[in-house]
């Protein structure tokens, strides 16, 4: 075995494969590990060859052919090491070039990303819709356009998200109300040849008509477009145009309305100059002057009120006022026109007396205006109904008529300044500011004015809605002397409820002396039970009752149909503002603190007649 191994090694030492192996690896080792590694491997190969050439184990190489082999290996190896060093240099330079190229590519990509980011930020901050569209060619012509880019403002014009829109065709995805054919006809030519175009588009959007100004230009086979929303400007221009038209109509109407009273005034002046004028004719002239001057004063008052409201200079003088008195004042103002046209006025007051905190003069002015409008637009012999109702939500005064009515498309405009209902068909006069003024006055009271109509020639209904919080108790009335003839005082069925027996009995005695029918109980439970069988129209109720309080008893009374219309009077020792607010919320009509002034109490009891 040793001999075989020795022969194999000898063959290996003398074989050219050994040197070929070392020679083949020299460039690779040099490139990978440097020139010193290649030189060391070369020397190792020479030493290996000398060691294993005869005589084996010695570095001496006596045979000439072995010397030639070693010399050739040394020369070739040196050349290979040198070549490896050159390859290493080339590889290093190539690596540096590749790294530089990759770095440049990374820088270029980052620059592109930064540029795209700045592009997006710039377009999004502009707040103007911006698009890029690319043509889709079919059979040699542009068949449709494709959304390739849109900024945030543009995305808001679509019902879909931007991710859905980008890449979609304008034939299937486009802003709400836009016509695909308009986009294709206007923008496709810019994709075929360089150019720029600007045009306006009117669309029917979700919020009504919209107007856009489109500026589009070619961009390397695509189209870029800016969409500017002109809707606010167009609507403002329309509003200005409408206001200007109404101003002209107002001035014409004002001239007409002022000439109407001026004509009889001038004629009356000429009549008064005539000699021998009879007293009867003179009185007639004076009445004409008074009526026509009052008409002119009314026109001027309306104009001044509108001016004050516009400048915020109109202050309401609120006070506790009986709604019945407001209605009476309004009816008195409107009565002449109602009588002149032979119209029937039906008044439906609330079930029981109602007091509110309001400007008495202004509220009566609004109600009178509604009544006169109803009379003006109702044919002679027509019917007008004034209804007053109150609940926990609001207080409503309604004026309904069976006149010419209001067409549905005009309902929203009747409260505008200088507008008139059916101006062309029914020229009834007026400046067209009455409803606008009325609406403003009611809004100053915290309420609202509404209108309803079933259509032309089907009548109309105007309603004043006041918040329930405007309801208040009647203020204390001045004491008055008892009437000399007690038989003239209306008699009532009265229930006295007080846990103080002496106070209750004393009140009962006084009321019976006044001629009233009186029942007396000393607790809230007894009052509730008694009212099931006894229909009192006036109830005097203490608040601090044992068991069921006076507040709770009042609420039960108002919730029971048979007693809901009774006049409720609080008789209590509590008189702070919050106490009065509590009794008003519970449905009391009056709030008196002990000891009660009998004159004020008697007048409060008399109001039960107004409700009946």
At 564-593, the pLDDT tens digits run 888 999 988 777 777 888 888 888 989 988
Q: Which long-range contacts (CB under 8 A, 24 or more apart) does 167-173 make?
A: 169/136, 169/144, 169/145, 170/133, 170/144, 170/145, 170/146, 171/144, 173/147
Please write the tens of the pLDDT for every residue from 361-371: 888 888 988 99
Q: What is the mean pLDDT of residues 406-410?
A: 80
Most confident of 28-37, 162-171, 216-225, 384-393: 384-393
Q: Looking at the structure, give the CATH architecture of the domain made up of residues 318-472.
A: 2-Layer Sandwich (3.30)
Q: What is the pLDDT of residue 18?
A: 58
Looking at per-residue confidence, does 520 or 180 come out higher? 520
- Chain centroid to CA 437: 25
Does the structure show a pLDDT above 90 at 384? yes
Res. 321 pLDDT band, cuts 50 70 90: confident
* Residue 66 clears pLDDT 80, i.e. is over it: no
The string of DSSP codes covering 227-292 is: EEE-HHHHHHHHHHHHHHHHHHHHHHHHHHHHHHHHHHHHHHHHHHTSTT--HHHHHHHHHHHHHH
pLDDT value of position 215: 81
Q: Beta partners for 88?
A: none
| Alpha carbon distance 579, 201 (integer Å) | 64
Q: Could you tell me the pLDDT band of residue 199, with boundaries at 50, 70 and 90? A: confident
Q: Which of 19-23, 190-194, 362-366, 422-426 has the lowest mean pLDDT?
A: 422-426
Task: Name the fold adopted by 487-611.
Answer: Rossmann fold (3.40.50)
Helix (H) or strand (E) holding 524: helix 524-530
In this predicted structure, the answer to whether residue 23 has a pLDDT above a threshold of 70 is no
Quick one: CA dihedral 303, 306, 310, 315, positive or negative? positive
Look-up of token digits 């059979």: 139
| 154 pLDDT higher than 90 | no
Mean pLDDT of 454-469: 89
Question: Which of 210-224, 341-355, 378-392, 543-557 is predicted with the least confidence, judged by mean pLDDT?
Answer: 210-224
Residue 296 pLDDT: 73
List CB contacts of 45: < 8 A, sequence separation 6 or more: 18, 19, 22, 23, 73, 77
pLDDT > 70 fraction of the chain, expressed in percent and rounded: 75
What is the chain's length?
Answer: 612
29 vs 196: which has the higher pLDDT:
196
SS3 309: helix
| pLDDT category of residue 517 using cuts at 50, 70 and 90 | very high
CB 453, CB 461: distance < 8 Å: yes
Give the lowest-confidence range in 59-68, 222-231, 512-521: 59-68
Cα(208)–Cα(509) distance, integer angstroms: 73
Pairing of strands 493-497, 517-521: parallel
Backbone phi and psi for residue 384, each to the nearest 5 degrees, phi listed first: -130, 140
Q: Which of 24-28, 140-144, 268-272, 561-565 has the highest mean pLDDT?
A: 561-565
More confident residue, 499 or 478: 499
Please identify, in words, the CATH class of the domain defined by 127-229: alpha beta
Helix axes 64-126, 35-52, angle to 10 degrees: 160
pLDDT at 386: 94
State the pLDDT at residue 274: 81
Whether residue 79 is predicted with pLDDT greater than 70 in this model: the reply is: yes
Q: Do the domains 318-472 and 241-311 match in fold?
A: no
Of 92-101, 196-205, 260-269, 520-529, minimum mean pLDDT range: 260-269
Half-sphere exposure at residue 216, Cβ-oriented, CA atoms within 13 angstroms: 27
Angstrom distance (rounded) from CA 198 to CA 195: 11
The CATH code that applies to domain 241-311 is 1.10.287.130
For the chain, domain boundaries: 2-98, 127-229, 241-311, 318-472, 487-611
What was the pLDDT predicted at 426?
A: 40
Kindly list the distances between the CA atom of residue 513 and the CA atoms of 305, 507, 516, 571, in Å, as whole numbers in the listed order.
52, 10, 7, 19
pLDDT of 482 over the 50 cut: no
* Residue 567 · residue 604 · CB < 8 Å: yes
Distance in angstroms (rounded) separating the CA atoms of residues 481 and 513 = 15
Q: For residue 47, give the H/E element and its range.
A: helix 35-52
- pLDDT at position 119 over 80: no
- Beta carbons of 603 and 480 less than 8 angstroms apart: yes
Residue of higher predicted confidence among 72 and 388: 388
Q: Which of 215-224, 226-235, 293-302 has the lowest mean pLDDT?
A: 293-302
Q: Is the pLDDT of residue 68 over 90?
A: no
Averaged over 452-471, what is the pLDDT?
A: 88
Residues 6+ apart with CB under 8 A from 49: 13, 18, 19, 61, 66, 69, 70, 73
pLDDT by residue (tens digit) across 278-313? 888 888 888 878 777 766 776 677 666 666 666 666
Intra-chain end-to-end CA distance of the chain, in Å: 144
Average pLDDT over residues 78-85: 75
pLDDT higher for 18 or 553? 553
Contact 393, 447 (CB under 8 A): no
Rounded to two decimals, the pTM is 0.48
Distant-in-sequence, close-in-space partners of 194: CB < 8 Å, separation ≥ 6: 218
């Amino acid at each position: 075995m040793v001999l075989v191994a020795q022969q194999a090694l000898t063959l290996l030492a003398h074989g050219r494969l050994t040197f070929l192996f070392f020679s083949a690896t020299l460039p690779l080792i040099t490139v990978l590990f440097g020139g010193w590694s290649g030189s060391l491997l070369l020397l190792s190969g020479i030493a290996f060859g000398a060691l294993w050439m005869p005589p084996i184990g010695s570095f001496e190489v006596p045979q000439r052919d072995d010397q030639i082999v070693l010399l050739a290996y040394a020369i070739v190896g040196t050349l290979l090491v040198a070549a490896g060093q050159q390859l290493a240099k080339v590889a290093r330079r190539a690596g540096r070039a590749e790294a530089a190229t990759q770095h440049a590519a990374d820088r270029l990509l980052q620059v592109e990303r930064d540029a795209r980011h700045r592009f997006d930020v710039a377009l999004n901050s502009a707040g103007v819709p911006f698009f890029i569209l690319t043509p889709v060619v079919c059979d040699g012509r542009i068949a449709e356009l494709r959304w390739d880019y849109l900024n945030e403002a543009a995305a808001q014009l679509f019902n879909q998200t931007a991710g859905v829109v980008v890449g979609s065709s304008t034939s299937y995805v486009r802003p709400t109300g836009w016509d695909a054919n308009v986009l294709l006809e206007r923008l496709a030519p810019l994709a075929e040849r360089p150019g720029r175009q600007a045009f306006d588009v009117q669309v029917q959007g979700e919020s009504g008509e919209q107007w856009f100004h489109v500026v589009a230009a070619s961009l390397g086979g695509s189209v870029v477009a800016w969409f500017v929303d002109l809707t606010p400007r167009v609507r403002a221009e329309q509003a200005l145009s409408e206001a200007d038209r109404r101003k002209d109509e107002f001035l014409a109407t004002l001239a007409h309305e002022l000439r109407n009273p001026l004509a009889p005034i001038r004629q009356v002046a000429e009549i008064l100059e005539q000699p021998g004028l009879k007293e009867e004719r003179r009185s007639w002239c004076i009445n004409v002057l008074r009526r026509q001057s009052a008409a002119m004063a009314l026109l001027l008052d309306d104009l001044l009120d509108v001016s004050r409201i516009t400048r915020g200079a109109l202050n309401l003088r609120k006070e506790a006022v009986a709604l019945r008195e407001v209605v009476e004042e309004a009816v008195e103002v409107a009565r002449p026109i109602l009588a002149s046209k032979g119209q029937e006025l039906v008044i439906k007051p609330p079930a029981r007396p109602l007091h509110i905190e309001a400007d008495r003069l202004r509220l009566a002015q609004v109600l009178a205006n509604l009544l006169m409008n109803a009379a003006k637009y109702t044919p002679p012999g027509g019917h007008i109904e004034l209804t007053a109702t109150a609940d926990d939500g609001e207080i409503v005064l309604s004026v309904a008529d069976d006149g010419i009515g209001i067409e549905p498309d005009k309902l929203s405009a009747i409260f505008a300044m200088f507008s008139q209902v059916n101006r062309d068909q029914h020229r009834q006069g007026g400046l067209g500011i009455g409803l606008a003024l009325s609406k403003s006055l009611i809004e100053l009271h915290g309420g609202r004015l509404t209108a309803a109509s079933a259509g032309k020639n089907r009548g109309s209904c105007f309603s004043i809605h006041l918040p329930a919080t405007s309801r208040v108790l009647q203020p204390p009335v001045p004491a008055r002397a008892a009437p000399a003839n007690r038989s003239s005082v209306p008699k009532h069925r009265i229930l006295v409820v007080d846990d103080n027996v002496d106070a209750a009995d004393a009140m009962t005695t006084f009321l019976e002396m006044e001629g009233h029918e009186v029942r007396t109980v000393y607790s809230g439970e007894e009052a509730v039970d008694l009212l099931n069988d006894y229909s009192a129209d006036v109830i005097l109720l203490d608040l601090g009752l044992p068991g069921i309080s006076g507040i709770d008893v009042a609420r039960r009374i108002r919730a029971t149909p048979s007693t809901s219309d009774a006049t409720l009077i609080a008789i209590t020792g509590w008189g702070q503002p919050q106490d009065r607010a509590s009794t008003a919320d519970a449905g009391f009509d009056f709030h008196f603190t002990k000891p009660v002034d009998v004159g004020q109490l008697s007048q409060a009891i008399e109001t039960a007649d107004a409700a009946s």
